[in-house]
Structure 1
Amino acid sequence: MRVLLTGASGWLGRFLAPRLRAAGHQVTGLDVAPGADTDVIGSVADRALIDRLFGACGIEAVIHAGALHKPDIVRYPRQAFIDVNSSGTLNLLEAAVAHKVSRFVFTSTTSLMISSAIREGRGDEAAWIDETLAPLEPRNIYGVTKLAAEHLCRLIHAEHGLPTVILRTARFFPEEDDTHAELSGENMKANELLHRRLTVQDAADAHLVALDRAPAIGFGTFIVSAATPFARSDAGELKRDARAVIARHFPDAAALYDRAGWTLPASIDRVYDASLAERVLGFRCATGFADVLAALRDDRPPPAAHDPGYTSPKEPPV
């Protein structure tokens, strides 16, 4: 298929574009910044550009991975998030309908599911987060605009029947966390593979599966995160003593972490449950916490990419 990939120069795009081509698709990459897989420089907020692009390239499918993200909150006004994340998504959806595109995959985020209460770890149990979580109360403009974009996807599907899959991806960024600094970046990313992270390779693979399955699904929203070893019944103990729960599942984790100079989480405040994606979408992340421990045993680099110097290609060099 002739696939339009937005965000082609970004962290996900650089892994996704080669996979699409390897699968036999013809990719047109769109981004505001140049990149190896970007063919057109421009913004999804530019409706005239979007209309020209669909017509000139004969687009048959869309993967909309381009967005302003949470770290951009300190760099851009709220209106920019509305223009890009919400209005830009509507531009793509309406162009997709006008040009009879066969499917639409939207890269969303688990961040829109995290209220201030969840973010602050209130309550006596870890929050068990699946697609039934309600009400959704995003805590910043990033989450608000991504949730609005999801609603636009749902509306256009309902009105026009456009097959659409929304992927609420967990964390897969390579840079340092911009709100937590108590652990090294590699240690934190390793811990998060227990309950709120996936590798960028798995994120890219999920989009390929969604692209293939969208017509059969019709419309679906899926959390995409590494499969957690925990059960919902663990929620209370995870909040009180996460290390005891981890030890039951991975008896040598503490010793391997000690050898690496890492720290296991004492408390876990949330768990992303990606089982719906496995059951309905047919996708399960290939990499999880067991792979972290295997890497530590073999003195190999951990599976989650860590690059403290990474900056978005749309930002000028520091």
Structure 2
Amino acid sequence: MRVFVTGASGWIGSHTVPHLLAAGHDVVGLARSDASTRRIEELGATAVRGGLDDPSVLRAAARDADAVVHLAFKHDFTDYEGAGRTERAVVQGFLDELADSGRALLLASGLAGKPGQVITEDDPTAFTGPEAPRGGSDGLVLAAGERGVAGVALRFAASVHGAGDHGFVDILARTARERGVSGYVGDGTHRWPAVHVSDAGRAVALAVDKATTGGTAAHVVAEEGIATRDIAAAIGDALGLPVASVDPADAMDHFGWLGGFWSTDIVASSERTRERLGWVPTGPTLLEDLAAGAYDHVARG
């Protein structure tokens, strides 16, 4: 198949493209810069220049593809609503192009909506409507079957970790270095799910091959939930910093925009995803990654 991937040079995308190529697919990746172009070509894929604000480029690439894997997102938390509007427009454009074709649209999403309860693939999305996070694009993809598209919401764990990560765990580690203490909120018993980036990339590639017309959710989760105080302790050990509780009332001040998310109890099962895709995570756990030095770059500055 010909697979068009947005975010192909990014954290998850660069670990997905090799698995797609190994499966025999022809991969085209969206590149918004010369550096992105080089990275995509180094991976062995073909680059097409453009960005999320180039609807004609996106739709043309989708038109020529058998499947679209949309991993890119504007991570601009100073204008998160604007990023959501862009996301919704991009996904609607892809759905318009793929309508009534039975082709697949896979979308990067997250896990939310049931604090303290185990989230399963059968749970409805919390992201619906244009004002929802990511413009409610998760809901659009889960309803893709109504338009004759094989929609898959890729619900990634809160931590997609590994050497080179610049996501949430990297931010927590940098916050710890700046504050001089690795913090968790309250008693730290609330949990975060995790998956190693190598396993995440393999799961996405498997989901491309197994997508069927309709709307399904795939939970890209290796560890259902790790206590945040244990994550904070591992960060503290890795950076040689003390570990301390942060009062919930001070979480936003201490951790910035990530404070609310870091305070939330998120537990997710991937049992159905593993069965459906034949996916068996084999990468290191988050705590193993931290102990092995995957985030030592933070200590080095």
TM-score bracket, shorter-length normalisation? 0.5 to 0.7
Residue of structure 1 in register with 2:103 after alignment: 102
Residue of structure 1 in register with 2:195 after alignment: 198
Once the two structures are superposed, residues 226-268 of structure 1 have per-residue CA deviations (whole angstroms, 9 ceiling, x without a partner) of 23388xxxxxxx69xx77xx9xxxxxxx99x979958899899
Identical counterparts, % of pairs: 23
| 1:286 shift after superposition | 1.8
**Contact kept? 2:195, 2:285, Cα under 8 Å:** no
**d(CA) in 2 for partners of 1:229 and 1:282?**
21
**Do structure 1's residue 166 and structure 2's residue 172 form an aligned pair?**
no
Q: TM-score, normalised by structure 2?
A: 0.67
Residue of structure 2 in register with 1:277 after alignment: 273
Residue of structure 2 in register with 1:73 after alignment: 77
Relative to total residues, which structure has the larger strand share, 1 or 2?
2
**d(CA) in 2 for partners of 1:147 and 1:18?**
29
Counterpart amino acid of 2:150? P
The change in CA–CA distance for 1:308 and 1:90 in structure 2 (over 3 A counts) is farther
Once the two structures are superposed, residues 31-74 of structure 1 have per-residue CA deviations (whole angstroms, 9 ceiling, x without a partner) of 3334121611212443322333345xx311111111123xx212
**Contact kept? 2:238, 2:296, Cα under 8 Å:** no
1:123-138 → structure 2 map (5 Å cutoff) = 126-131=116-121, 136=126
Gaps of 5+ in 1: 119-125, 231-237, 247-253, 310-318
Secondary structure of residue in 1 paired with 2:72: coil
Once the two structures are superposed, residues 88-141 of structure 1 have per-residue CA deviations (whole angstroms, 9 ceiling, x without a partner) of 01111211227x36322211122xx158xx5xxxxxxx4433345578379xx7
Q: TM-score, normalised by structure 1?
A: 0.64
**Do structure 1's residue 209 and structure 2's residue 209 form an aligned pair?**
no
| 1:145 shift after superposition | 3.9
**Contact kept? 2:105, 2:151, Cα under 8 Å:** yes
**d(CA) in 1 for partners of 2:17 and 2:26?**
9
The change in CA–CA distance for 1:133 and 1:180 in structure 2 (over 3 A counts) is farther
Aligned mate of 2:66, from 40, 51, 60: 60
Residue of structure 1 in register with 2:259 after alignment: none
**d(CA) in 1 for partners of 2:276 and 2:288?**
27
1:133-152 → structure 2 map (5 Å cutoff) = 136=126, 144-146=132-134, 148-152=136-140
**Contact kept? 1:45, 1:91, Cα under 8 Å:** no
**d(CA) in 2 for partners of 1:78 and 1:167?**
21
The change in CA–CA distance for 1:28 and 1:290 in structure 2 (over 3 A counts) is closer
Secondary structure of residue in 2 paired with 1:177: helix
**d(CA) in 2 for partners of 1:180 and 1:290?**
16
Secondary structure of residue in 1 paired with 2:17: helix
**Do structure 1's residue 43 and structure 2's residue 43 form an aligned pair?**
no
**Contact kept? 1:3, 1:28, Cα under 8 Å:** yes
**Contact kept? 1:227, 1:285, Cα under 8 Å:** no
**d(CA) in 1 for partners of 2:177 and 2:23?**
38
The change in CA–CA distance for 1:264 and 1:207 in structure 2 (over 3 A counts) is farther
**d(CA) in 1 for partners of 2:124 and 2:59?**
36
| Count of matched residue positions in the alignment of Structure 1 and Structure 2 | 257
Counterpart amino acid of 2:68? V
Counterpart amino acid of 1:211? V
| 1:211 shift after superposition | 0.6
| 1:202 shift after superposition | 1.3
Counterpart amino acid of 2:18? P
**d(CA) in 1 for partners of 2:120 and 2:201?**
21
